[in-house]
Amino acid sequence: MSLHREPDGTRYSVLVCRDVTSNIEKERQLEATTRQLEHIASHDDLTGVPNRAEMSRFLDAALETARKTDRRVGVLHIDLDEFKQINDTHGHPAGDAVLKATAERLRRALRKEDLVARVGGDEFVVICGNLTGLNDLREIGGALLDAVNGPVKWQNGSLGCQISVGAALYDGQSTSAEDLLLQSDFALYEVKRKRRGRLATYDAELHRKHARTTDLQADLLKAIRNKDLSFYFQPVVAQQPGLVRGMETLVRWHHPTDGLITPDELIPLAQSINVIAELDMLAIDAALDLKVKLNEWGYDSILTSFNASSELLAHPDFCDRLLSGLSFRDLTTDDIIVEVIESVVFESHGVATPFVKTISDLDNFGIFTVLDDFGSGNAGIAQLAKLAIRGVKFDKSICLSILEDPTVAIVYKTLIGLCNELDLRMVTEGVETQEQAERLRELGCTNMQGYLLGKPMPEDALRRWLDDYTASAIAPEERPRYLKAN
Ligand code: C2E
Ligand code: CA
Ligand code: CA
String of DSSP letters for 325-365? HHHHTT--GGGEEEEEEHHHHB-GGGPBPTTHHHHHHHHHH
Q: How far is CA 417 from the centre of its chain?
A: 33
Q: Where are the beta strands (DSSP E) in 72-122?
A: 72-80, 115-120
The rounded mean pLDDT for the chain is: 90
pLDDT digits (tens, 9 = 90+) for 11-41: 877 777 777 777 788 888 888 888 888 888 8
Q: What average pLDDT does range 87-110 have in this prediction?
A: 94
Q: What average pLDDT does range 385-399 have in this prediction?
A: 91
Beta-carbon contacts of 221 under 8 Å, excluding residues fewer than 6 positions away, are 273, 275
pLDDT > 60? residue 409: yes
Is 54 a pocket residue for ligand 1 (Cβ < 6 Å)?
Answer: no
Beta-carbon contacts of 254 under 8 Å, excluding residues fewer than 6 positions away, are 230, 260, 261
Q: Which residue lies with its CA nearest to atom 12 of ligand 1? A: 430
pLDDT value, residue 469 = 85
Structure-model confidence comparison of residues 273 and 70, the more confident one: 273
Give buried/exposed letters for 124-143 (b at 16+ CB in 10 A, else e). bbbbbbbbeebebbbebbee
pLDDT digits (tens, 9 = 90+) for 36-84: 888 888 999 999 999 999 999 999 999 999 999 888 999 999 999 999 8
Ramachandran region of residue 373, left (φ > 0), alpha (ψ -120 to 50) or beta?
A: left
Q: What is the DSSP letter of 381?
A: G
Give buried/exposed letters for 322-333 (b at 16+ CB in 10 A, else e). beebbeeeebeb
- Judged by its nearest atom, the ligand closest to the C-alpha of residue 263 is 1
pLDDT > 70? residue 456: yes
Q: 230-238 and 259-261: which strand pairing?
A: unpaired
Binned at pLDDT 50, 70 and 90, residue 476 comes out as: low
pLDDT digits (tens, 9 = 90+) for 108-139: 999 999 999 999 999 999 999 999 999 999 99
Is 430 a pocket residue for ligand 1 (Cβ < 6 Å)?
Answer: yes
Top mutation candidate among 429, 431, 453, 483 for ligand 1, by most atoms within 8 Å of CB: 429
Q: 243-255 and 230-238: which strand pairing?
A: antiparallel
Q: Ligand 1 mean position to 444 CA, how many Å? A: 23
Of 310, 391, 313, 321, nearest to 358 by C-alpha is 313
pLDDT value, residue 486 = 42
Classify 63 as helix, strand or coil: helix
* Dihedral pair phi/psi, residue 9, rounded to 5°: 95, -10
Q: 163-169 and 199-201: which strand pairing?
A: parallel
Work out the angle at residue 446's Cα, subtended by the Cα atoms of residues 410 and 371, and round it to the nearest 5 degrees. Answer: 75
pLDDT digits (tens, 9 = 90+) for 237-249: 997 667 899 999 9
pLDDT value, residue 450 = 96
Q: What is the DSSP letter of 383?
A: G
pLDDT digits (tens, 9 = 90+) for 330-341: 999 999 999 999
Q: How far is CA 51 from the centre of its chain?
A: 24
Q: What average pLDDT does range 300-304 have in this prediction?
A: 95
pLDDT value, residue 484 = 42
Q: Ligand 1 mean position to 297 CA, how many Å? A: 25
pLDDT digits (tens, 9 = 90+) for 172-208: 777 899 999 999 999 999 999 888 999 999 999 999 9
Q: Which residue lies with its CA nearest to atom 33 of ligand 1? A: 307
pLDDT value, residue 482 = 38
Query: Which atom of ligand 1 is nearest to 250's Cα?
Result: 38
Is 396 a pocket residue for ligand 1 (Cβ < 6 Å)?
Answer: yes
Is the previous residue joined to 316 through a cis bond, with omega within 30 degrees of 0? no
CA dist., res. 335 & res. 357, Å (int)? 21
CA dist., res. 142 & res. 200, Å (int)? 10
Q: 157-159 and 425-428: which strand pairing?
A: unpaired
pLDDT > 60? residue 480: no
pLDDT > 50? residue 444: yes
Q: What average pLDDT does range 307-328 have in this prediction?
A: 96
Of 188, 190, 280, 178, nearest to 231 by C-alpha is 280
- Judged by its nearest atom, the ligand closest to the C-alpha of residue 395 is 3
Structure-model confidence comparison of residues 257 and 379, the more confident one: 257
Of 118, 92, 94, 90, nearest to 104 by C-alpha is 118
Q: Residue 445 carries which side chain, given as an amino acid letter?
A: C
- Judged by its nearest atom, the ligand closest to the C-alpha of residue 261 is 1
- 311 contacts 358 by C-beta, under 8 angstroms: no
pLDDT > 90? residue 468: no
pLDDT > 60? residue 483: no
Q: What average pLDDT does range 447-461 have in this prediction?
A: 96
Top mutation candidate among 249, 267, 309, 336 for ligand 1, by most atoms within 8 Å of CB: 267
